[in-house]
Structure 1
Amino acid sequence: MAERKGRSGKKGGRFRSGKSKKEKVFQEYIGRVQMTREGYAFIIVDGEEDDIFVKASKTRGALNGDTVRVAVTKEKTDRQRREGEVLEVMERSRKPFVGILHIVGEQAWVLMESRAMPYDISIPIAGAEPAGRPSGKKKSRPAESDAAGQTAPETVTGFLKKKGNGLYSVSGVYETVDGKRQELVARSGMKVAAIVDRWDRKDPDPVGHLVDVLGEPGENDTEMHAILAEFSLPYRFEPEVENAADEISDKITAADRKERRDFSNVLTFTIDPADAKDFDDALSFRKLDNGNYEVGVHIADVTHYVTPGSVVDKEAQERGTSVYLVDRTVPMLPEKLSNKLCSLRPNEPKLCFSAVFEITPLAKVVSQWFGRTVINSDYRFAYETAQQIIDAGDKAMKMELRGGTDGKHGVVGDPVLEASPEAAEARKKAAVHSESAMGEGVTTGCLIPDELKEAVLILHKLATKFRKKRFASGAISFERPEMKVEVDEKGRPIRVYQKISKEANWLIEEFMLLANRSVAEFVAKGCRYPAVPGTGLGYLCISQEEAAKSAAKSKAKTFVYRIHDEPNQEKLDGLRSFIHNFGYEMGSTENGKEISKELNSLFAKAKGTPEYDAIEMLSLRTMAKARYSTDNIGHYGLAFKYYTHFTSPIRRYPDMMVHRLLAMYLAGADSQKKDYYEGQCKHASEREVVAAEAERSSIKYKLVEFMQDKVGYEFDGHISGLTEWGMYVETEPSKIEGMVALRDIKSDYFEFDQDRYRIVGKRSKVVYNLGDAVKIRVKKANLEQKLLDYELVETGNEDRMDAGEYEEMHSDAPRSDEYSRGENGGNRQARKEKVHKAIKASKKKSGKSGSRLGSKPSSGQNARSSGKPSGKSRRKTSR
């Protein structure tokens, strides 16, 4: 058997078992641990389709995120997953775990809330004498010694030091308050973040140190900071970074203007979400004498202000991207840059890096130019206002339309995008100054000039043609609505809605795609256009034919590409099998063009059916993850041979790298060091994934919080997913998903029929299929675990089993790690509940309130709730 390479890049080997007379040889791998709260784990190995399941007794002290050496002891079969055992913990993860600090006498622990951490973490207290564990606290693993207290080493940060009155300072972990640097202060009951340092055989629990004190459990800032801490994401800038940003000059000098092409007198505008603060792209438009159009894609010139190796640059490089939680943006750049200097606000001169195109009315690009510019945006549209113009079409030229701002008059309204007509109507009546749903009219803001309306209509026509060409070339049409949550001023969720892209979104998207693709192709083909005297870094507009001739004589240079590989054939086979259950078939998928054709055909056939969402989601899972690389393989999903990210340098560090490389190559520089940029690409790709996970986690938290006061309420819904342990149900109309555990359906013993993808009652033969309409009751909203439990509302006419028969049939039913708790978890949960009860009593006594809890409807009360929350759109789509 060939050796394989693991996640860390080290090769695996073979593990010999001495348990039988005939020595067994097992394949070894190096992978990353994905732990469950029951203590068993899955080992994820790069390049391997299937994870390796490891029982709790075989983890050898490995924890979530650790890099381990693992041996496969059972290979995968049709009825059995691949199993193994951990041989060695090669590297401990430095990712924090979030929990509640619990201090008893001379001992301290962080009680874990994470679904990925089944053990509590022991935190040393300075000067504490080793002591036995408190009674009732069961050991988490066999230990050579009962000692639980440790004397904190003086060289280690993050241990606790007594201050008195129940307060402890956290050694070496600082915050700056009113310009003064001081150690963080904690007390029992506060939410904290901790990192595991070691787990020796003599230690009953892992031993670690604190890295942050997040605040009081249940408070909105605390919980959002906890999500960021869980993913090792910062929620503030250090003073030195803020100070460095403040020192950057906001003056645009005559020298700056001299080195740039001036678009100040060309019609220019931005189209963004209504609540956006960082406007990093603008479009300019003018008609040419030959009947063509000049369209400029102007991007904030962040790299003019942020120099390589500076304090701000290093911070942006480490962050990699802005993070968008439900109620806040954690920017990649300090606010002075992201919301002020680099934000293309109307009626302010701004420095840009631009891609300018000459385009025919039939959407053929006949020439292009790249270089640095200065602009002055005339107008700021919200998507809703631009959509209003598009919906009106040519009639818009004769209508008096309002919306947006020119930087002098008017404001951009707050959009209302709701699926529930009743909720939308109520919202419109309550918010006089808000914009209405897309296309229904805007009554506030500036009067929109005719030249702007004409520009939007022409650009819309061009974008529509670009879009059609793209899909004809093999682009895949994924159009999943984005879940959004609107919160009040205290961060409490008040609405949930599905964000649906419309033509105004597509207009911006297509021109951003054009700029990204054109920049990538320009560098990939090594084009050397003649420089334009007196216009700074830029080349003459030349035809595509001239560009091709130039490319033939040039050589590609190191560059940052956004790449996307073709789908995995094994996953496509799984999709093929899945859709067969619903009567759909897929033709040949031997090459990329065939795959995209079959997928788009499948989406068209399934559109509007109950199974459509599941088919689209599973199709998405067949796709490779888009990432950054210096090796160009094209972008499969967009059907582009060349693609990069050029258009969002305020929120993405790869775009800053692209700007710098493009500027150097425009100036005639040689190709840059590939190894350096490949390392940066890998880091940026990793940060992008982490940021997306944090964003999803914040949405899950707010959805559960939104449903907390609806426990006991009944909702109409439909089955959105099926597993061996239950069915996922989405409520209508808000699409909030929860789990109905099969064990909770008392009328029968239900089993998952994987071959036909359905759930069947063993005795009654009742069948539940994907997309079936059901009625559910909210059973539990677990904020700690970010889980929603639903139960089916049964009519009372079911032929119910008696308790004994029911329990007997369910005794060996499969359980999900999300809905069951092992012995260790149960003991830990009991201790945690005891601690929380004490903390709650203490708060009540002192007059402090805890987290906001929902109310359960009284008997006889109408438990239906049809309101669908609405929220704010924070950014454009990123591919």
Structure 2
Amino acid sequence: MSKKKSSGKKKKSKTSDSDLLKGRLDITRSGMGFVIIENQEQDILIRPNDFNTAMHGDTVRVKITRMAGRTGRMQGIVTEVVDRKQNVFMGKVEISKTFAFFVADSDKPMPDIYIPLNSLHGAENGARVIVRVVEWAPGKKPVGEVVEVLEAQAENDLAMKEIIMENGFPMTFPEDVIEETARIPEQLAGVEVKKRRDFRDVLTFTIDPVDAKDFDDALSIRKVKTGYEIGVHIADVSYYVEPDTELDKEAYLRATSVYLPDRVNPMLPERISNELCSLRPHEDKFTFSAVFNISATGSVKDYWLGRTVIHSDHRFTYEEVQEVIENGDGLYKEELLLLNKFAQKYRKQRFKKGAINFSSQEVRFKLDEHRKPIGIIVKESKEAHQLIEEFMLLANRTVAEHVGKFEQDNKQLPFPYRVHDQPDAEKLVPFAAFARKFGHGFDTKSPERIAASFNQLLEEVKGMPQQHVLEQLGIRTMAKAVYTTKNIGHYGLGFENYCHFTSPIRRYPDVLVHRVLQEVLDGRFAPDKKMEEKCKHSSERERAAMDAERAGNKYKQVEYLQNFLGDEFDGVISGVSSFGFWVETVEHKCEGLVSIASLSDYDDFRHVESEYMLAGRRSGRTFRMGDKIKIRVVAANLEKRQLDYEWVITAALKEDTGSGERLKRVAKKSRKKK
């Protein structure tokens, strides 16, 4: 297989960058393009002949050529592809005697890709393959190579691969990355061991999900004169992944692992993530650690940061630790109960200081041997999860505070902080009004009062059917957390200083944090002038990973509810628009659309945006976000990842409305349509 990789970029035109605008190209099904510019209301029209090799989702620079039409819309041409969203595609290959070409499975217009015969790598005519674009000169067809021939695989497997690719993540690691990784010695170098603080004789364990393989954090604990010494030990990925190596470049390109319901698309090759760096039990491992001197009452008296070597004594699952916490008995019970006591104390302190208590409700799929969902489990965050969370937060905050104290030339060192801006009070007004409909007061006079109001609301709706919907709506009204060198603090956590230090196996910013921290500890600073650019790239890749994870979850929801067509479920209205409303089932958290067309026989509904509801013009019937409702599953479209529901008119509703006969006719018509 060829090692050649495409940068996805073309040479800049002679036009000055100051004359150009940078944005994301969105290509419609009709083939017309629009470049969306950040913080600019109007997008820029791009005709197909002016794409200049750009494809849907690419970040591009455009030159405005004229104001098009009576609307005054700007029209332009693409002058440069800054960043490719995707250069790997799934589709079919057609082969002739002298050449081959590839046709992608895509609802977006894109050119066929020319495949040299020596780049087919065993693919036969008509085969379904994955192809990578390796070259694309302006005015010519893109050139590609086959990276995988897809055998007769299950559709759900192909769908997951397509989700990964369409969000711009590579499916495989280049050969030079694999070769470089294979050369890393498995044995810990004795010279390096001597440089590190040795924790191998201290009780250490990991706590992770039952199916985890990349254990990137461990806790150690021992009694000391002043109380307890508790270590947060993180896999020392930066020791193995050195700057500017092929391995480092690939990790940066991906910037994050992607977690789908049935697989992980890792940031680092498995030899790194699951073997060399994974803190597996009964193995010596290199780590980067935050070690805390904590009093008997849980107060942090002092800390130490540095490189270490550890030996994990045991691998716990969250369920095993939760059992020890609930029953007060089990392996290392004294240590676990003490750690949990401290963690709960830190948790209460955080919320008292203004952190927002959004619960982390997790939906997980039970899969059969063919990766098809046979059940859905809704998991709540329990004390075992909170134990790990609080100590990871403590380590992340401490590292950010420590690095933030250092300056060079009267400037803070470029460092990838994890920040979360304060909410925009104006954007919260509709949410506050909505919360009042449910009897929840909401004070938007200051950031502190907003946080207190959120916590009060979340406490009041705990355990109610509306809990998940209200939480999600509340989160959507907040700013998004991002990576940046500009430290504005983390509003949601209530921290003035915060970074990501604890997951370098799956997040590239954590690797950057480790590198800068080591420079600080060594007293030698080499500020990275491209740190803000790296932060922006990492934030963008994080958003793409979240999009992929949402798409993967949606696919599995549809795949699961295919087995329940015609069945009825209790639900909660989770969103409202002019064309209908979405309902999330209480039992499985599966969201589907009730189309406004399916309600037309009952009444003429209008969308009241400020109230998050549809209102009937004649009946006065309303469908408001957060309302409990019964639905029937009427369609499950895997290709579109879409569920369609219809409203079930219950006996109680017939009696309440006094329109029993009319509702019977509506129900009868609905059944006929079905």
Same fold (TM over 0.5): yes
Structure 1 segment 367-446 matched on structure 2, within 5 A: 367-393=302-328, 396=329, 401=330
Deviation (angstroms), 1:645: 1.2
For 1:342, the equivalent position in structure 2 comes to 277
- Residues 83 and 642 (structure 1 numbering): CA distance in 2 closer, same or farther, change over 3 Å? farther
What's the CA shift string for 1:502-531, capped at 9, x where partnerless? 10011011111111111111111139xxxx
Deviation (angstroms), 1:751: 2.3
For 2:559, the equivalent position in structure 1 comes to 705
Q: Does 2:354 correspond to 1:462?
A: no
* Aligned 8 A contact 2:613 2:622 in 1: yes
Residue among 121, 124, 137 paired with 1:183 = 121
- Residues 739 and 283 (structure 1 numbering): CA distance in 2 closer, same or farther, change over 3 Å? same
Residue among 569, 572, 577 paired with 2:425 = 569
* Aligned 8 A contact 2:37 2:43 in 1: no
- What is the rounded CA distance, in whole Å, between the counterparts of 1:494 and 1:562 in structure 2? 37
* Aligned 8 A contact 1:110 1:194 in 2: no
Residue among 779, 784, 799 paired with 2:662 = 799
Q: Does 2:577 correspond to 1:744?
A: no
Q: Does 2:397 correspond to 1:517?
A: yes
Deviation (angstroms), 1:374: 1.4
Residue among 623, 637, 648 paired with 1:782 = 637
For 1:720, the equivalent position in structure 2 comes to 574
Structure 1 segment 808-823 matched on structure 2, within 5 A: none
* Aligned 8 A contact 1:297 1:355 in 2: yes
Q: Does 2:512 correspond to 1:657?
A: yes
Residue among 61, 78, 94 paired with 2:84 = 94
Deviation (angstroms), 1:383: 0.4
- Residues 59 and 224 (structure 1 numbering): CA distance in 2 closer, same or farther, change over 3 Å? same
- What is the rounded CA distance, in whole Å, between the counterparts of 2:465 and 2:334 in structure 1? 40
- What is the rounded CA distance, in whole Å, between the counterparts of 2:562 and 2:104 in structure 1? 23
What's the CA shift string for 1:742-782, capped at 9, x where partnerless? 11223333222234332223333332233333332222222
Higher normalized strand content (fraction of residues): 2
- Residues 172 and 496 (structure 1 numbering): CA distance in 2 closer, same or farther, change over 3 Å? farther
Aligned residue type for 1:347: H
Residue among 634, 637, 640 paired with 2:495 = 640
Deviation (angstroms), 1:574: 3.2
For 1:228, the equivalent position in structure 2 comes to 164
Q: Relative contact order: is structure 1 or structure 2 higher (C-alpha 8 Å, sep ≥ 6)?
A: 1
For 2:358, the equivalent position in structure 1 comes to 478
* Aligned 8 A contact 2:33 2:48 in 1: no
Report the secondary structure of 1:638's partner residue: coil
Residue among 168, 189, 193 paired with 1:257 = 193
- Residues 95 and 677 (structure 1 numbering): CA distance in 2 closer, same or farther, change over 3 Å? closer
For 1:503, the equivalent position in structure 2 comes to 383
- Residues 54 and 757 (structure 1 numbering): CA distance in 2 closer, same or farther, change over 3 Å? farther
Higher normalized helix content (fraction of residues): 2
For 1:239, the equivalent position in structure 2 comes to 175
- What is the rounded CA distance, in whole Å, between the counterparts of 2:345 and 2:339 in structure 1? 10
Structure 1 unaligned runs (5+)?
A: 1-7, 14-28, 76-81, 124-157, 160-169, 175-181, 201-205, 402-447, 528-550, 807-858, 864-879
For 1:630, the equivalent position in structure 2 comes to 485
- Residues 647 and 173 (structure 1 numbering): CA distance in 2 closer, same or farther, change over 3 Å? farther
* Aligned 8 A contact 1:30 1:45 in 2: yes
Structure 1 segment 829-848 matched on structure 2, within 5 A: none
* Aligned 8 A contact 2:277 2:285 in 1: yes
Residue among 183, 199, 210 paired with 1:274 = 210
Residue among 290, 296, 301 paired with 1:361 = 296
Deviation (angstroms), 1:666: 1.1
* Aligned 8 A contact 1:720 1:728 in 2: yes
* Aligned 8 A contact 1:325 1:695 in 2: yes
> C-alpha root-mean-square deviation of aligned residues, in Å?
3.9
- Residues 674 and 122 (structure 1 numbering): CA distance in 2 closer, same or farther, change over 3 Å? closer
* Aligned 8 A contact 2:208 2:317 in 1: yes
- Residues 238 and 87 (structure 1 numbering): CA distance in 2 closer, same or farther, change over 3 Å? closer
Deviation (angstroms), 1:286: 1.1
Report the secondary structure of 1:295's partner residue: strand
Deviation (angstroms), 1:674: 3.8
Deviation (angstroms), 1:342: 1.2
Structure 1 segment 288-307 matched on structure 2, within 5 A: 288-290=224-226, 292-307=227-242
Among the aligned pairs, what percent are the same residue? 42
* Aligned 8 A contact 1:74 1:83 in 2: yes
Q: Does 2:264 correspond to 1:329?
A: yes
Deviation (angstroms), 1:480: 4.0
* Aligned 8 A contact 1:526 1:554 in 2: no
Aligned residue type for 1:246: A
Structure 1 segment 130-149 matched on structure 2, within 5 A: none
* Aligned 8 A contact 2:89 2:130 in 1: yes
- What is the rounded CA distance, in whole Å, between the counterparts of 1:319 and 1:224 in structure 2? 17
For 1:696, the equivalent position in structure 2 comes to 550
* Aligned 8 A contact 1:173 1:184 in 2: no
Residue among 373, 381, 401 paired with 1:493 = 373
- Residues 113 and 254 (structure 1 numbering): CA distance in 2 closer, same or farther, change over 3 Å? closer
Deviates more, 1:778-787 or 1:577-586: 577-586
TM-score if structure 1 supplies the norm length?
Answer: 0.65
- What is the rounded CA distance, in whole Å, between the counterparts of 1:285 and 1:521 in structure 2? 23
- Residues 54 and 708 (structure 1 numbering): CA distance in 2 closer, same or farther, change over 3 Å? farther
Aligned residues: 635
- Residues 580 and 707 (structure 1 numbering): CA distance in 2 closer, same or farther, change over 3 Å? same
- Residues 189 and 764 (structure 1 numbering): CA distance in 2 closer, same or farther, change over 3 Å? farther
* Aligned 8 A contact 2:255 2:538 in 1: yes
Report the secondary structure of 1:709's partner residue: helix
* Aligned 8 A contact 1:214 1:225 in 2: no
- Residues 65 and 747 (structure 1 numbering): CA distance in 2 closer, same or farther, change over 3 Å? same
- What is the rounded CA distance, in whole Å, between the counterparts of 1:46 and 1:112 in structure 2? 29
What's the CA shift string for 1:11-61, capped at 9, x where partnerless? 789xxxxxxxxxxxxxxx75434455477887643235xx54789999987
What's the CA shift string for 1:311-334, capped at 9, x where partnerless? 222222222111112111122222
Aligned residue type for 1:249: P
* Aligned 8 A contact 2:280 2:315 in 1: yes
Aligned residue type for 2:421: D
- What is the rounded CA distance, in whole Å, between the counterparts of 1:55 and 1:554 in structure 2? 45
Report the secondary structure of 1:799's partner residue: helix
Residue among 604, 611, 628 paired with 2:459 = 604
- Residues 588 and 569 (structure 1 numbering): CA distance in 2 closer, same or farther, change over 3 Å? closer
- What is the rounded CA distance, in whole Å, between the counterparts of 1:573 and 1:226 in structure 2? 39
* Aligned 8 A contact 2:31 2:48 in 1: no
- Residues 186 and 782 (structure 1 numbering): CA distance in 2 closer, same or farther, change over 3 Å? farther
Deviates more, 1:694-703 or 1:601-610: 601-610
- Residues 84 and 513 (structure 1 numbering): CA distance in 2 closer, same or farther, change over 3 Å? same
Report the secondary structure of 1:696's partner residue: helix
For 1:65, the equivalent position in structure 2 comes to 57
Deviates more, 1:618-627 or 1:63-72: 63-72
For 1:284, the equivalent position in structure 2 comes to 220
Deviation (angstroms), 1:109: 7.9
Deviation (angstroms), 1:634: 1.5
* Aligned 8 A contact 1:516 1:643 in 2: yes
Aligned residue type for 1:701: Y
Aligned residue type for 2:585: T
Deviates more, 1:280-289 or 1:454-463: 280-289
Report the secondary structure of 1:719's partner residue: strand
What's the CA shift string for 1:212-270, capped at 9, x where partnerless? 56635753432222111111211222222222212111222432222111111111111
